[in-house]
Structure 1
Amino acid sequence: MIYTVTLNPSIDFIVHVDQLEIGALNKMTQDFKLPGGKGINVSRILKRIKIESTALGFVGGFTGTFISDWLTEESIQNQFTTVADDTRINIKLKSGEETEINGLGPAITADEIADLKAKFSQLHPNDIVILSGSKPAGLAADFYEELIALVQQAGADFVIDTTGAELFAALPAHPLLIKPNNHELAELYDTSFSSIEDILPYGQKMLQDGAKNVIVSLGGDGALLFSGDKIYRTNVLTRPLKNSVGAGDSMIAGFIGRYAQTQDVVDAFKWGVACGSATAFSDDLAQADFIQELLPEVEVKEINI
């Protein structure tokens, strides 16, 4: 089983306004309410490529019910921990450029933390746990490390999609996959890149530091995969860019979903790129037929250095 963990989910309230005027009355031209959170996005894409997962995390109040009901409607298993405070609402205001206003998230009690951790007792050695996204205020700085220790205790694999100190702290535990973009990778090692060749030693260094597989997304230049002593690069698919929210989560879903089936990192990389690109070219998360349309266009080539 694949488990996704979203510690600070949200309702993403997407609002379109033709021309925003600060200090004046503005009327929406269109709006959407969607379940938000990186792990939740992963579960939703996994379902669309016919891979089962179980969503874990904290939800509370009427906003939390909206999220759990939505996943149930999509036939996605979820075992959320119910918390006393309301799940946050994030506003994505689209008027020319996008402006985001993100909620803080609920305060989490000791009993609620214990409830979430207790769910890790169901893990088995063949399971994969995907840890991703921000933490609500009040959780310990090393909370991801605490969860990783529970995953290791069960003999399961884990993926971590975060940045900075939390990502570095996870590397000695040998995550199955990490996915920094080129800017995040440069920040991690306090450097800068002026070419693809500059990135290669640092992707290899993340393997040396403990990661089993590393995907570095390059924006409009495709993506790199570092695995063992091999480096692979994909081509760039061409469609109008519509949506950056969830593209990275979709890439992780495609990679891990396919890897769980085949144990083939190159094939998994191809699926990851197709899923990530399909979301980037869609108004919301990618649909299955669009992912299938893009798969034949993805080319993966080994880089020799």
Structure 2
Amino acid sequence: MIYTITANPSIDYVLQVDTLATGKVNRTTTDVKLPGGKGINVSRILNELQLDSTALGFVGGATGSMFENLLKQHNLKTSFTKVTNDTRINVKINATKQNEETEINGTGPEISAEEKQSFLNQLKSVGNGDVVIMAGSLPQQVETTFYLDIAKVIKDQGADFVIDTTGQALLDTLPLNPLVVKPNNHELADLFNVTFNSEQDIVDNARKLLDQGAKHALVSMAGDGALLVTKDHVYKANAPKGQVINSVGAGDSMIAGFVGTFMKTKDPIESFHEGAACGSATAFSQDIAVKNKIDDVYKNISISQLS
């Protein structure tokens, strides 16, 4: 079983306007409310790939109920920890004629010690053969070491984990041997406080993640494609041609495609191919990509071995 953790989920209120004028009344052309959160995006892609997953996280209040109702439209299996405070709302404003996107993200609910422990207790059900994917920001009052606490529980239970976060929170979990980590090239540069002057620089720094314990490193590079660094080899996926409509969720989709395929095949190259297809397909879509779109994009991606 694959479990996804979205510690700080959201309702994403996406507004389309022709132009955005700050300090004035603006009227939308369209609007939509979507269930947001990086782990939720992963579960939605896994669902498109006809792979089972269970979405975990914290939800609360009236917005939490609304969030769960939105998820029911996507037929996702969930097992959320209920909290007292409200699930957050993120507002995303797309000004089409200005070709600009503005985001206003909520901070999320405060989580009590009891609510946190209740969540950790749920993880006692994972075991050998399971993979737990942790992704996204943390709610208020949750220590920055929370992902490390989760990783320790998962490893003690004999399961694998994937972490999609940045900074020290990522580095702290590397000695516990995550199945895959996925920074983009800018996040990787910030992680080691360096500037990249070549693709080889990116590869060399991705190898540092493996040296510190990661089993695989995926590095997305937007229009320059993506890299997969394994213990023995480096592979590159091209960036397929297409109009980028919305990059939100593309990285989550890549992780879903990689992990879901790896669970079935144990083949990192095929997993990379599927992951790259899922990531690009979502970038070319208004929302998380659907299976037909993923299959179409897959045909336009090739994987080459660099070393």
TM over 0.5: yes
Unaligned runs of 5+ in 1: none
- SS, match of residue 258 in structure 2: helix
Residues 192-207 of structure 1 aligned to structure 2 (within 5 Å) = 192-207=195-210
Are the aligned partners of 2:13 and 2:91 in contact in 1 as well (CA < 8 Å)?
yes
Q: How many Å apart are 1:84 and its aligned residue?
A: 0.7
Query: Does the CA contact (< 8 Å) of 1:7 and 1:58 recur in 2?
Result: yes
Aligned partner (choices 215, 218, 235) of residue 218 of structure 2: 215
- State the alpha-carbon separation in 1 of the partners of residues 102 and 73 from structure 2: 29
Asked whether 1:133 is paired with 2:131, we answer: no
Question: What is the one-letter code of the residue matched to 2:266?
Answer: Q
1:283 aligns to 2:286 (yes or no): yes
Rounded to whole Å, the distance in 2 between the matches of 1:203 and 1:82 is 37
Moved more, 244-253 or 108-117: 108-117
Question: 1:167 matched to which residue of 2?
Answer: 170
Specify the SS of the correspondent of 2:11. strand
Q: Distance in 2 between matches of 1:76 and 1:17?
A: 31
Partner of 2:86 in structure 1?
Answer: 86
Inter-partner Cα distance in structure 1 for 2:144 and 2:299: 42
Amino acid at match of 1:36: G
Q: Take 2:210 and 2:104, find their aligned partners in 1: how far apart are those partners?
A: 35
- Contact 2:222–2:239 (CA under 8 A) maintained in structure 1: no
Report the counterpart of residue 37 of structure 1 in structure 2: 37
Identify which of 189, 193, 205 aligns with 2:192.
Answer: 189
Contact 1:59 1:81 in 2 (8 A): yes
CA RMSD, 1 decimal:
0.9
Quick one: which of 237, 241, 245 aligns to 1:242? 245
Shift in Å at residue 70 of structure 1?
Answer: 2.5
Aligned to 2:302: 299
- What CA deviation, in whole Å up to 9, does each residue of 1:223-257 have, x standing for no partner? 00011111000111000110110000000000001
Report the TM-score, using the length of structure 2 for normalisation. Answer: 0.97
SS in 2 for 1:41: helix
Aligned counterparts of 2:27 and 2:186: Cα–Cα separation in 1: 36
1:72 paired residue number? 72
Whether 1:99 aligns to 2:102 is: yes
Q: What is the aligned-residue identity percentage? A: 48
Normalised TM-score (structure 1): 0.98
Post-superposition Cα deviations, 1:109-137, rounded to whole Å, max 9, x if no partner, equal 11211111111011011000000100011
Amino acid at match of 1:23: G
**Following the alignment from structure 1 to structure 2, what is the Cα–Cα distance between the partners of residues 23 and 290?**
39
- Secondary structure of the corresponding residue to residue 297 of structure 1: coil
In the alignment, residue 59 of structure 1 is paired with which amino acid? V
Match of residue 53 from structure 2: 53
Structure 1 contact 72–78 (Cα < 8 Å) conserved: no
**AA partner of residue 35 (structure 1):** P
Q: Deviations over 1:192-238 (max 9, x none)?
A: 01221221211111111110000011110000001111100011100
- Structure 2 letter corresponding to 1:26: N
Mean Cα deviation higher: 293-302 or 40-49 = 293-302
Query: Is residue 129–residue 160 contact of structure 2 (8 Å, CA) maintained in 1?
Result: yes
Q: Provide the rounded CA distance (Å) in 2 between the counterparts of 1:73 and 1:219.
A: 30
Secondary structure, counterpart of 2:101 in structure 1? strand
Q: Structure 1 residue 69: deviation in Å?
A: 2.0
* Pairwise CA distance, 1:140: 1.1
What is the CA-CA distance between 1:293 and the residue it aligns to? 1.1
Is 1:146 the counterpart of 2:149? The answer is yes
State the one-letter code of the partner of 2:305: E
Is the partner of 2:240 in helix, strand or coil? coil
1:120 is aligned to 2:156: no
